[in-house]
């Protein structure tokens, strides 16, 4: 059961994820192939190396693993979200729902502006995670935010939308 996904869509995702797991599909299949096989009724809004992302059109996005490694990245993301202290959690995009190989997150569209004020904020966030022994290599270079994985919240906080690679 999911508040965000219909049983039919959960079934489609489940079938796809099972295939990823058992066939150990290590190469990155093209977006077109993944979209065709998944066949979900949601608008595609982007993809990275490990996941394909859909707009649920209700303020949330759905991310589905697009290769075997993506399943572990999602597990890691969910674990991290549920285990970090509040001070760090405010920088992690809200997870609303999840399952094996998929996660529903809040949709954030605003990019982080490239100026001194936000370089400073990025550095502060970087140091906060560092303090807890976590490296943000997918997120910043210590100063500039990596645009694909970081957004700005309504309250102008820097929020990481892809934290599958952050480890405690």
Ligand X SMILES: Nc1ncnc2c1ncn2[C@@H]1O[C@H](COP(=O)(O)OP(=O)(O)O)[C@@H](O)[C@H]1O
Q: Which of 105, 149, 151, 159 binds Mg ion (CB under 5 A)?
A: 149
Given ligand X, Mg ion, none, residue 61, with its beta carbon under 5 to 8 Å by kind, binds ligand X
What does the DSSP 8-state code read for residue 147? G
The per-residue b/e assignment along 42-61, b for 16 or more CB within 10 angstroms, e otherwise, is beeeebbebbbbbbbeeebb
- The residues pairing with 46 across neighbouring beta strands, listed in sequence order, are 53
Verify binding: residue 49, ligand X, rule CB under 6 A: yes
Please count the CA atoms within 13 angstroms of the CA of 36 that sit on its side-chain side: 5
Given ligand X, Mg ion, none, residue 161, with its beta carbon under 5 to 8 Å by kind, binds ligand X
SS3 122: helix
Q: Which of 93, 112, 136, 139 binds ligand X (CB under 6 A)?
A: 93
What is the number of residues in the chain? Answer: 168
Report, in Å, the least distance between residue 60 CB and ligand X: 8
Verify binding: residue 149, ligand X, rule CB under 6 A: yes
Verify binding: residue 48, Mg ion, rule CB under 5 A: yes
Q: Which of 48, 62, 88, 129 binds ligand X (CB under 6 A)?
A: 48
Q: Which of 154, 155, 156, 120 is nearest to 140 (CA)?
A: 120
**What is the token pair recorded at 4?**
């965000």
Q: Which stretch binds ligand X (CB under 6 A): 1-9, 32-40, 102-110, 114-122?
A: 102-110
Q: Which is nearer to ligand X, 46 or 99 (CB)?
A: 46
Restricting to residues 61-90, name those near ligand X by CB under 6 A. 61, 63, 73
């Amino acid at each position: 059961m999911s508040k965000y996904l219909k049983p039919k869509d959960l079934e489609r995702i489940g079938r796809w994820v099972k295939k990823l797991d058992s066939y150990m599909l290590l190469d990155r299949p093209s977006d077109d192939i993944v979209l065709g096989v998944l066949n979900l009724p949601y608008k595609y809004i982007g993809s990275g190396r490990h996941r394909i992302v859909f707009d649920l059109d209700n303020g949330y996005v759905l991310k589905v693993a697009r290769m075997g490694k993506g399943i572990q990245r999602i597990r890691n993301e969910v674990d991290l979200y549920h285990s970090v202290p509040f001070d760090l959690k405010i920088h992690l995009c809200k997870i609303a729902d999840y399952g094996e190989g998929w996660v529903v997150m809040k949709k954030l569209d605003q990019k982080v502006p490239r100026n001194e004020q936000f370089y400073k904020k990025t550095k502060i966030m970087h140091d906060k995670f560092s303090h807890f022994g976590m490296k943000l290599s997918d997120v910043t270079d210590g100063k500039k935010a990596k645009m694909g994985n970081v957004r700005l919240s309504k309250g102008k906080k820097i929020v990481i939308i892809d934290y599958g690679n952050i480890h405690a």
